[in-house]
């Protein structure tokens, strides 16, 4: 089922982006009950999806105008930041645990970490999507290179590294097309909060991620779903260098898009990523979509630029990821 871009995006008065759930993606992931400390239940589910740039969409933005994680309202965003600060302070830090502020977190913040990666190949019964071990290894290499800051002299080493802990393969047409995704994730997920689970599927999106602050109430579905042919050598024009996984793992480590919040002062809660009014498409050098200081961070992995345009996280994002990992995944 293909979706059109029109009508899927609405901007709230607060500047938050709200996207309608895709009909292929039931909102069954939403589980508001349980953890009294959890965020208010989002009205549109625990995550949102990016559109895959298929033939009709290659010329548009990465994933079109949709989000690939659950939408977070401006109010929810403020509550997430406050909650993270409280958690970091309670962990025995020095009370400076302002997420992503670039000033460093509390003493409890562990910098980076070694992340075990479980790859679940959700192939079709005819073998479609049954990516090779070599391609999976190449994808893990891309994660390591991008998180080590190896693609630009302007890129920090986040100190996160990734080791392949296991690969399993399923041949199920429903799962291959991301059907019953909550069910298949709960059935196949491995490891704890610190384990990265990657499900390789064929769906209408490049990727979908869950956020770290949702792990406590919904750990069974925690991880990222990635279009299998976005892996290195996968064949999607402009999106097959493996950077989709880098982007989705950024969400999994607590980063928003660089265009989160648009031209607001807090925008993506990271101080060194200039505000951006909307997703970038392609690689338009010099783009400057907000009157706030700084050019749009079009080379940032958390924008929607082409894979070849991506080359960095910012130092503030690197700090935020360590803080989020310490708060919710360590
Ligand atoms: Ca920013
Ligand atoms: Zn995204």
| Interval 3-61: pLDDT, tens | 322 222 333 333 332 222 232 333 222 222 222 222 222 323 445 444 433 333 333 33
Backbone torsions φ then ψ of 106, nearest 5 degrees: -75, 175
Q: Which residues of 54-89 are buried (b: 16+ CB within 10 A; e: fewer)?
A: eeebeebbbbbbbbbbbbbbbebbeebbebbbebbb
pLDDT of residue 91: 87
Residue 300 per-residue DSSP state: B
Return d(Cα 245, Cα 243) in angstroms, integer. 5
pLDDT of residue 270: 97
For residue 274, the ligand closest to its alpha carbon is 1
pLDDT of residue 54: 37
Return d(Cα 230, Cα 290) in angstroms, integer. 30
For residue 19, the ligand closest to its alpha carbon is 2
For residue 268, the ligand closest to its alpha carbon is 1
Nearest alpha-carbon partner for 44 in 22, 62, 65, 24: 22
For the chain, helix, strand, coil in percent to 5 are: 25, 15, 60
Q: Taking the complete model, does pTM exceed 0.75, yes or no?
A: yes
* Cα 268 to middle of ligand 1, angstroms: 5
* Cα 277 to middle of ligand 1, angstroms: 11
For residue 258, the ligand closest to its alpha carbon is 1
Asked if 224 contacts 251 with a C-beta cutoff of 8 angstroms, the reply is yes
* Cα 31 to middle of ligand 1, angstroms: 30
CB atoms within 10 A of CB 132: 11
* Cα 68 to middle of ligand 2, angstroms: 5
Element (H, E) at 209: strand 207-209
Q: Following CA atoms 32, 244, 280, 104 in sequence, which dihedral angle do they give, to the nearest 10 degrees?
A: 70
DSSP string, 30-80: ---SS-TTSPPPPTT-S--BPPP--TTTTTSSTTTT--SS----HHHHHHH
* Cα 207 to middle of ligand 1, angstroms: 22
Q: Give the three-class secondary structure for 95.
A: coil
* Cα 269 to middle of ligand 1, angstroms: 6
Return d(Cα 278, Cα 276) in angstroms, integer. 6
| Weakly modelled stretches of the chain, pLDDT under 50 | 1-46, 48-61, 63-65, 95-97, 101-106
Report residue 292 as tokens. Answer: 């706030």
Give me the catalytic one of 47, 85, 248, 269. 248
Return d(Cα 22, Cα 11) in angstroms, integer. 17
Element (H, E) at 90: helix 74-90
Catalytic residue list contains 248: yes
């Amino acid at each position: 089922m293909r979706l059109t871009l029109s009508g899927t995006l609405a901007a709230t008065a607060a500047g938050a982006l709200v996207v309608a759930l895709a009909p292929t993606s039931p909102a069954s992931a939403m589980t508001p009950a349980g953890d009294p400390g959890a965020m208010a239940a989002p009205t549109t589910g625990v995550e949102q999806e990016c559109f895959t740039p298929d033939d009709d969409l290659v010329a548009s933005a990465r994933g079109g105008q949709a989000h690939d994680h659950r939408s977070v309202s401006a109010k929810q965003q403020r509550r997430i930041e406050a909650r993270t600060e409280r958690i970091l302070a309670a962990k025995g830090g020095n009370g400076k645990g302002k997420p992503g502020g670039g000033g460093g977190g509390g003493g409890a913040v562990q910098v980076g970490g070694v992340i075990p990666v479980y790859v679940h190949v959700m192939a079709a019964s005819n073998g479609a999507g049954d990516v090779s071990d070599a391609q999976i290894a190449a994808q893990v290499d891309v994660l390591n290179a991008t998180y080590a800051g190896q693609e630009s002299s302007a890129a920090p080493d986040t100190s996160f590294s990734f080791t392949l802990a296991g690969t399993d393969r399923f041949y199920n047409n429903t799962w291959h097309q991301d059907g019953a995704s909550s069910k298949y994730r709960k059935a196949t997920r491995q490891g704890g909060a610190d384990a990265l689970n990657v499900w390789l599927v064929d769906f209408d999106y490049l990727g979908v991620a869950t956020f770290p602050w949702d792990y406590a109430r919904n750990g069974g579905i925690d991880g990222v779903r990635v279009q299998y042919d976005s892996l290195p050598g996968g064949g999607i024009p402009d999106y097959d260098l493996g950077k989709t996984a880098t982007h989705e793992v950024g969400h999994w480590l607590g980063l928003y898009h660089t265009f989160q919040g648009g031209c607001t002062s807090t925008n993506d809660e990271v101080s060194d990523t200039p505000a951006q009014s909307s997703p970038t498409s392609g690689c338009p050098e010099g783009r400057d979509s907000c009157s706030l200081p700084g050019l749009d961070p079009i080379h940032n992995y958390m924008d929607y630029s082409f894979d070849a345009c991506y080359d960095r996280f910012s130092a503030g994002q690197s700090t935020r990821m360590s803080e989020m990992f310490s708060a919710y995944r360590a």
